[in-house]
Amino acid sequence: MSSKSILISTRQKQLNCTIPLTGSKSESNRALIMEALSEGAVQVLNISEAADTVTLKNILQLPNNQANTVDVGPAGTAMRFLTAFYSLQTGTITLTGSARMKQRPIGILVDALKSLGADIQYTENEGFPPLLISGPLKQKTDQVKIKGNISSQYISALLLIAPKLEQGLKLIIEGELTSKPYVEMTLAMMEQAGIRHQWIDNEIIIESQAFKEAEISVEPDWSAASYWYALAALSEEAQIFLPGLNGYSLQGDSKITEIMANFGITSQFKDGGVLLIKEAKKLERKIFDFKECPDLAQTVIVCCAALGHNALFTGLETLKIKETDRVNALQTELSKIGVQLIEKNQTYKLDCSGLDLSKKIYVNTYDDHRMAMAFAPLAMVLPELEIEDHLVVEKSYPDFWKHLEIAGIGVGS
């Protein structure tokens, strides 16, 4: 993806607005796979407008005889979920993606599916897309072991297809489970469609069973909400209302309410949404753990940097295999405001001793939507900010720039 850069600037330090967020990408992608597996029993409402979700929806609408090659582009969730989905379908397809997608490992998921009986081959590099998938899977066992410290999307991909396996599935998680809320989200959404499970210690058991008729209404995206929390944190005063969000979300990124309380942002759930209010508060928390919510890491780290807060961060292990190496990208871009992100034994420390917010900076996005949106709140504290490739946000939050304008923040080319 490539497009022109975008300039962001604002003289106002107060934010007072209502922002209508799109549906959750994470919930939407799970719901679409369930809808396809249920053969119409499951209906999805308030589907996300994110490019990743649009890609997955369009692919799932293709008749099998037209899907000889399926290209997910940069959509990582689609790659993982479709690898499992197509292993159940009759026929042979090649599943591929963008140049970066071909660098993102998928061997752990493929090995798990092959142990169940799937026929999957690598057409270029071992352990990476593209994949040649021939189905349907002829199940050889009902048990799979998988490490808990890998992407939760591998685990969710297996859980989503489990009810359609003749023998069901016993998924044995080895070691500590990373991004547990995403696994819990998957199972809770499956429960909405009548799929029962047992989770005992490190084993998740799903018997072979049919999806029941259900309407799944997708909640607005808490990941998108996180950027508004950051904007509020870097403002002098803020009252931002985000309709549709609730305090009992399935989304792990709703943890942003707890994290941003440390920055003086209160979350009042009322009138069918959440009202963010900025209050004066000294930031004292020194350690932030993103093990259960890695997609919030960039936003919070940039926010701490802008405030000159020398915090420590853990749970960033999966960031290196995302749309880009997000750790390296953060280190490079934060250096432009004089801040260092230093790694030592999987713990990361901000050194803000050289912080300089006196001049305009240009932020590279590395084809990563979250780099663009995590750095955008710096417009509240910099004289001007230029961000490369403004269309990159379409992956998860297409209306982001338009919503900044609603908030009174200047956006232009």
Q: Are 350 and 341 in contact (CB under 8 A)?
A: yes
Token pair of 409, please?
A: 């923040």
Measured CA to CA, the distance from residue 172 to residue 378 in angstroms comes to 43
Measured CA to CA, the distance from residue 354 to residue 339 in angstroms comes to 6
DSSP output for 305-364: HHTT---EEE--GGGGGSSS-HHHHHHHHHGGGT-EEEEETTEEEEE-TT---SS-EEE-
HSE (side-chain half, CA atoms, 13 Å) at 13: 7
| CA nearest neighbour of 403 among 237, 238, 224 | 224
HSE (side-chain half, CA atoms, 13 Å) at 84: 26
Of 142, 295, 368, 389, which one is the catalytic site residue?
Answer: 295
Give whole-number Cα distances, 289 to 31, 178, 309, 319, in Å: 28, 11, 15, 13
Q: What are phi and psi of 297, to 5 degrees?
A: -60, -50
Measured CA to CA, the distance from residue 202 to residue 396 in angstroms comes to 32
Q: Are 14 and 234 in contact (CB under 8 A)?
A: no
295 included as an active-site residue: yes
Give whole-number Cα distances, 109 to 8, 144, 157, 274, 295, in Å: 40, 10, 8, 37, 21
Amino acid, single-letter form, for residue 131: L
- Residues pairing with 274 in the sheet: 242, 269
Give whole-number Cα distances, 131 to 30, 109, 118, 151, in Å: 21, 12, 12, 19
Helix, strand, or coil (residue 276) = strand
Token pair of 213, please?
A: 């008729």
| 243 cis-preceded (ω within 30 degrees of 0) | no
Measured CA to CA, the distance from residue 271 to residue 275 in angstroms comes to 9
Measured CA to CA, the distance from residue 300 to residue 353 in angstroms comes to 18
Active-site residue list:
295
